[in-house]
Chain A
Amino acid sequence: MRLRLLALGLAIIAVALFPRAAGGYPVKLLQEILIWGIFAMSLDLLMGFAGMVSFGHAAFFGVGGYAAALALGAWGPGLGAGLALPAIAAAVVALVIGYFSIRVSGVYFIMLTLAFSQMFYAYAFQTAWLGAEDGLVGVPRPTVLGLDLAQPTAFHLYLLACAVLASLALWRIVRSPFGHVLVGIRENEARMRAVGYAVDRYKLVAFVIAGAIAGVSGALYTQFVGSITPDAFLWTTSGEALLMVIIGGTGTLGGAILGSAAFILLQSLVSSYTERWMLLLGVTFIVFVLFAPGGIVGTLRGRIGLRA
C-alpha cells in the first residue's frame, strides 16, 4: 500500500514536471490523456462498478463542453463558469436521461442511452445558438486563483489537479458503502432489491455522479481545444470512452487512465501513417472483447498474479 502511494506520488510529480522536459506536442498528448482519462473513469464508475453500460456517455461530455463554452463566453473567466456550471448542467441532463433509462436494464439501457445521446447530436447540429454544425469557437480559458490559464504551465497544472481530484473522488466513492451497494447491484440486482435497498435510487445517483464528472471532462476539453462541435455528442465519442475502459480494464478506475493513454498514444502514432484509424479502432474493440475482456489491468493481474 505504502509502495503504491509512493509510486502514485512520483507519477503525479512526473506529470507535473513533464512540460519542463518535453516539447509542445508530447505535452499536448499528455493533457489529452488526462482529459479523456477523467471521462473514461466516469464511465467506468457506471460500467465497472454499477454494471450499467452506457453507450451514450457522450451526452454529458458534450453538455459539459457546450455549457463551459457558453458560460465562459457570457460571464467571463471564472472557475464557476469553467467547471461548476458545466458539472451541474451535465448532472441535470444525467438526471433526466437516467430517470428514463434506469427503468430498464441490459440491452434496453444500452439502446436508450445511445439514442438519447444522438438526440443531443441532432439538436446541437441544427441549433443556431449552439453554432449549428460549426459549434462554438474562440472559447477563453478561465482564471483560477489569479492564475491565467491561457498560460501553458498553469493550464497543465490545472488539468493535472482536476484529474487527481476526479480520481480521488471516484476512488472514495467506489470504496464507500455507496460504492459497495453499486457492486452489489451489479452482481445481483434482485437480491439487493430483496434485501431492501432502493436500487433505482442508487443507480440514478451513480448515473448523475458519472454524468457530472463526464461534464467536467467535456468542459476541460473545450478549454483545451478552445472550441466545441456537435461531434462531441456523436456515438464515436461514447465509443472512444468505452474502448478506453475496455483496453484498460473494466472496474479498475486506474485502468481507464491507462486505456486513455494507450488510446491517445496509438492514435497519434497511427494517424501519421494511415487514414484507416476507424478500422483500427474497430479491430481493437473486437480483439480486446474476444481475447482480453479484462483489459490491460485484468490481463496483468491474471498473468503475474498482481493483486489490487
Chain B
Amino acid sequence: MKLTKETLQKIDDVIPRYPDKRSAVLMVIHLIQDELGSISDETCEWIAEKLDLQPINVKELITFYPMLRETPWGKTHIRVCRTLPCALRGSYATCQKLEKKLGVKEGHVREDGEYSIEFMECLADCGEGPVVMVGEETFENIDEKQAEKLADQMLKGKLEKSADFVSYEKGLLSDSPSKAKKSSSKTKK
C-alpha cells in the first residue's frame, strides 16, 4: 500500500488538529480513500498502527459508513437520491434511466470500471429534486428526460463543460441560467 508524499503529509497535518488521535480516523480514511479509492484490510492495519488503534476499530468504521469502501467505485461514480422528496419527483425513473444508459445496475461497478451508480439516501437538496451527484458535483432537477441527456453528455465526455448541466457547486457564483431563474422568482427582503 503506497501513498503519495502529499497524502502522507496531509495525514500528518490533520492528526494533531484533534485532542485525541483516534478522532482523526475518519479524516485519515477520507484522505486515503481519495487517493486509493478504497480501504483494504492492509490499509486498515496501516491506519490502526498510525493512530494507536486495533485494526478491528478501523474495520468497524469502514463497514458502518456507506461512503467508506472496501472495494473502489468506478472512475465516474454517480449517486442518485432515493429518499421521499426526490422519489416524489421521479428519482426512481431517473435511476433506472441512468442504469440503462450507462449499462450498470445500481450498487455495482461496470465491468470496465468506468461507471458505477449508487442509490443513496437524502443528499440534502430536496427542493431541486431529483438530485444526482456525479463525482463530487451535485446536479439538480434530473428527471427521467434530463437523466437521458445527462448520461449522453457523460458518455461523450462533455459533462464538464456542459451548458445544460451546471452543478450546484459551479452555479454558486457564475451567471448560469439556472441561477438567474432562481433569483428572479424569489421574494427577498
The judgment on whether A and B are partners is no
Residues on B lying within 8 angstroms of A by beta carbon are none
